[in-house]
């Protein structure tokens, strides 16, 4: 399997966010926010896997994670423990994965620029 471990982990976390409504049962706008942020994470992580030198995709993963972490307060479901903890844990994990992937992407970008 090719690609960096942090990008594969971001794919898994993004997928988990997309299907998280199955275990916390939340529907409506908050579910749509988690779903869309999960899809954004998936898209950016797959781009990072296929284009390891794209620094912007790692930044998108980081931003998506921060936004996901904030969704319980922004969309008013902080009082729903299952949904809120899902957003907090996945959001924090995705943000950390974005930070971890930035140096690797910057290095890959620099190597590609010097070819």
Helices 81-113 and 5-18 pack at an angle, to 10 degrees, of 150
Beta-carbon contacts of residue 114 (< 8 Å; ≥ 6 apart): none
pTM metric for this prediction? 0.90
Measured over the CA atoms of residue 82, residue 88, residue 91 and residue 96, the dihedral's sign is negative
**Between vectors from CA 21 to CA 63 and to CA 18, what angle results, nearest 5°?**
40
Q: Quick: pLDDT tens for 26-40.
A: 889 999 999 999 999
Q: Quick: pLDDT tens for 102-113.
A: 888 878 766 655
Stretch 19-25: mean pLDDT: 89
pLDDT of residue 104: 83
Q: Quick: pLDDT tens for 43-102.
A: 999 999 998 878 899 999 999 999 999 999 999 999 999 999 999 999 999 999 999 988
CB atoms within 10 A of CB 53: 16
Measured over the CA atoms of residue 27, residue 43, residue 89 and residue 72, the dihedral's sign is negative
């Amino acid at each position: 399997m090719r690609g960096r471990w942090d990008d594969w982990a971001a794919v898994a976390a993004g997928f988990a966010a997309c299907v998280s409504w199955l275990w916390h049962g939340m529907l409506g706008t908050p579910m749509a926010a988690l779903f869309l942020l999960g899809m954004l994470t998936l898209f950016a992580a797959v781009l990072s896997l296929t284009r390891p030198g794209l620094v912007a995709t790692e930044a998108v993963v980081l931003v998506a994670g921060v936004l996901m972490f904030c969704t319980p307060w922004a969309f008013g479901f902080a009082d729903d423990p299952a949904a809120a903890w899902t957003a907090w844990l996945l959001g924090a994990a995705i943000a950390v994965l974005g930070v971890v992937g930035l140096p690797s992407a910057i290095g890959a970008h620099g190597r590609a620029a010097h070819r």
